[in-house]
Amino acid sequence: MDENSARAMRMPRMPQRPRKRTEIEQHESADLLAHVTEDQASREEGGREGVATGSRKRRKSSLDSPMTTTARTLPLLVCSIGNPGTTYANTLHSAGHTVVNSLAAHLGYAQFRKEREFGNGLISRPAISGSTGDWTLWQSTSYMNESGKGLKAAFTAWSKHIPVGEEGRVVVIYDELEKPLGSVTVRTNQGASARGHNGLKSILKLMRDVPFARIGIGVGRPVSRESNEVARYVLKKMTPPEKEKIDGSVEEVMKKLQLLERG
């Protein structure tokens, strides 16, 4: 190796000076830095705004949630009409009584007892006060074609226990020919016809100023339309399958009563 080469190897390398950026490069760098800084600030501001907005939404949701209120219900006088005594018990014409007996058992009401003030009808109320809805069960002890007199007295007595300014509702449960056995039909139209039912005729005559709802319990129909055949049909004792059908309507009757008590 010659002397010049050796000297070159021993000489330290001088550090290179950084290349001076042109004005264009400096301008682009400044723009990029400004853009990054602005974008970061925007994200931070957006984040703060998002948190604040979320807080406002939560407060709004809490304030705007509807309050739970208990629906107002009407006291009911639930009446059944039929014929009195063991001779007519569990006949199709007394299907209303059968259903109301099942209703009292289903609700756990107290045993029926006769009350003179209520037209000598049979009354059943909740065994424990306030345990169920405000329903009073009443059974006529009159013959079918005299139902109106007892029901009018019962309504007068029952009305005395309703607070001033409030109102109640009368519901009559009865047997209905021409409807499938055990079916349940509700009528609230006060101008509706009695459709030949002597019990309803008596009630409409004596309580013409008192509106009442009707729940008809279907009892089917005989093959013949002759009056004697119809009378024999509705006054005969129910067969076990027929009684099972009538008793089985009680749950549907309860649903209808719950709708009626809401007004």
| Catalytic (active site) residue 93 | yes
CB contact at 8 A, 120 and 135: no
Interatomic CA distance for residues 7 and 76, integer angstroms: 121
Q: What angle do CA 140, 143, 148 make, to 5 degrees?
A: 60
Instruction: Indicate which residue of 27, 35, 93, 161 is catalytic.
Output: 93
- Between strands 212-218 and 121-124, the pairing is unpaired
CB contact at 8 A, 121 and 154: yes
**Alpha-carbon distances of 18 from 24, 91, 201, rounded to whole Å:** 17, 115, 115
Give Rg (Cα) of the chain: 43
- Residue 27 CB-density burial (10 A; 0-12 exposed, 13-18 middle, 19+ buried): exposed
Beta bridge partners of 186: 215
The residues assigned a catalytic role are 93
